[in-house]
Chains A and B, each alone.
Chain A
């Protein structure tokens, strides 16, 4: 599902954000990307979204070599990738329903589709009763659920999460992880960048550790039946 071959990314020729990164993530895997700040986690996520292109090396996402992807095809790539961030990135003047529906609206889905899919996904994330609230009427955990609902409403094959629990207390973080786990069980590949060791230890999933842009550890931990071979 995600495969990188000898990917290097350097800025202005001198700052090496990623060095020789080769990773292979199968469909349906749940992978933690860990490492201290500045280790290259965010750069890796941006490369997956093709917000940036690698300095050298190849990146395959959902079977496509995205290093060579024409820029007009990038939106189609992103429709296969859901994205969740530490700061939620919700629109403050839109309701929960509108925030989630917006993701469908802007890729040209009809009102009927939106009216059907948004309540479904809000039920899935447990916010069915709050669809007419504005984001700042919700708790941080609830806001992150909205953001996950928005990322997943289009049923992408891949879910990228960049520090999704970074702003949340431990109890709320566990709820969010349960939700991501549920999404993973539907066959969605989940790649989560984090430096929350408690969560990583508790989840016991594959861990890829970056340090100074280099992969220093790639460890399978407790790969169950729904893992690599799906």
Chain B
């Protein structure tokens, strides 16, 4: 082959590739962003769920007693609580003990503590349940018992927190679906451009009887490759962002939210699977109509 032709072929190939590379990079980045969101949302909600779980298990039911409860009522109440199958432990808290807790809880506000005496605080049983969700059973059993002032389920606290977690998750998933869709469309566009660049070859392939799958597979591979590379970039982004997010979570230190590097790496396969899905879907979208027989 004369040298000038090689020169021409190389130049054209490079031009083609540069045009396609820009598109491919764009597609990979959008896949990466959407998978970054997928991974981020999954990791954060999982961490938050873990927190909710741990806190829920720590939670107790407070059975607060009226001021003038008779010792017999108190005793039979404790006995009956211990006899309930749902109950794990029962801890009695006297007025004095309640006062000690109160002092610790409000150690930063001495004036509040000063206004409280042990006698102004109620006695209580702190009931630890085997399953926190069985609160209502216990509450119903205790209905109409003499000597009980209030029954408080500390889970109420967590419910609000849980709702926030769910809102975060729903928002994250919605965002992620939008991005995944955008990524699939971008991949479809890159595939369409690749098809357009090779339309003559494809026309000839169809004419001489290449099967549709024979023609499709290289393009599908291209789309899937973009998805996989996007997934790898997404994992990299998650690893890069982890220290910052951890920093934010440290504000809520008492909840113990952590996401480990290992957890992120374990997600690689999931993200790759989704990346392959997005890439495959995108390339099928791009191939549709253009490669019909």
| Residue in contact with A76 in the complex, picked from B203, B205, B209, CB distance below 8 Å | B209
Task: Please report B residues at the A interface, Cβ cutoff 8 Å.
Answer: 1-2, 5, 9, 12-13, 200-201, 203-212, 214-215, 292-293
Q: Are B206 and A78 in contact (CB under 8 A)?
A: yes
What's the nearest-Cβ distance from chain B to residue A45, in Å?
A: 11
Report Cα–Cα, A107/B1, bound state, in Å: 27
| Residue in contact with B207 in the complex, picked from A49, A132, A137, CB distance below 8 Å | A49
Q: Are A89 and B209 in contact (CB under 8 A)?
A: no
A52-81, CB < 8 A from B: 71-72, 74-79
* Residues of chain B with a CB closer than 8 A to A83's CB: 207-208
Q: Are B204 and A78 in contact (CB under 8 A)?
A: no
Return 27 A-B CB contacts under 8 Å, by A number: A49-B207, A50-B293, A51-B293, A75-B206, A77-B209, A78-B207, A78-B209, A79-B208, A79-B209, A89-B200, A91-B201, A93-B9, A93-B13, A95-B1, A102-B204, A102-B205, A102-B208, A106-B210, A106-B214, A107-B209, A107-B210, A134-B1, A137-B2, A137-B5, A150-B204, A154-B208, A154-B209
Q: Does A222 contact B (CB under 8 A)?
A: no
Report Cα–Cα, A93/B5, bound state, in Å: 9
Query: Closest B-chain residue to A95, C-beta based?
Result: B1
* Residues of chain B with a CB closer than 8 A to A74's CB: 293
Query: Closest B-chain residue to A106, C-beta based?
Result: B210
| Residue in contact with A72 in the complex, picked from B204, B208, B212, CB distance below 8 Å | B212
Report Cα–Cα, A72/B215, bound state, in Å: 13
Contacts A71-B293, A76-B209, A77-B209 given; 12 further ones with Cβ under 8 A?
Answer: A72-B211, A74-B293, A75-B206, A75-B210, A75-B293, A79-B208, A91-B204, A103-B208, A107-B208, A107-B210, A134-B5, A154-B209
* Residues of chain A with a CB closer than 8 A to B214's CB: 106-108
Interface of B is mostly: helix
Ordered nearest first, which 10 A-B pairs have the shortest CB separation?
A: A78-B209, A79-B209, A106-B210, A103-B208, A75-B209, A74-B293, A75-B211, A106-B205, A71-B293, A93-B9
Report Cα–Cα, A163/B210, bound state, in Å: 24
* Residues of chain B with a CB closer than 8 A to A108's CB: 214
Report Cα–Cα, A18/B21, bound state, in Å: 46
Query: Closest A-chain residue to B211, C-beta based?
Result: A75
Q: Decide: A103 near B1, CB < 8 A? Known: A71-B293, A74-B293, A108-B214.
A: no
What's the nearest-Cβ distance from chain A to residue B224, in Å?
A: 21
Q: Are A91 and B205 in contact (CB under 8 A)?
A: no
| Residue in contact with B204 in the complex, picked from A49, A50, A103, CB distance below 8 Å | A103
Query: Closest B-chain residue to A108, C-beta based?
Result: B214
- Type the 1/0 row for A120-143, where 1 means its CB is closer than 8 Å to any CB of B: 000000000000111001000000
* Residues of chain A with a CB closer than 8 A to B209's CB: 75-79, 107, 154
* Residues of chain A with a CB closer than 8 A to B1's CB: 95, 132-134
* Residues of chain B with a CB closer than 8 A to A72's CB: 211-212
* Residues of chain A with a CB closer than 8 A to B208's CB: 78-79, 83, 102-103, 106-107, 150-151, 154
What's the nearest-Cβ distance from chain A to residue B100, in Å?
A: 81
Q: Are B200 and A91 in contact (CB under 8 A)?
A: yes
Report Cα–Cα, A106/B13, bound state, in Å: 21
Report Cα–Cα, A75/B203, bound state, in Å: 12
* Residues of chain A with a CB closer than 8 A to B9's CB: 93
Report Cα–Cα, A225/B214, bound state, in Å: 41
Query: Closest A-chain residue to B8, C-beta based?
Result: A93
Report Cα–Cα, A91/B13, bound state, in Å: 14
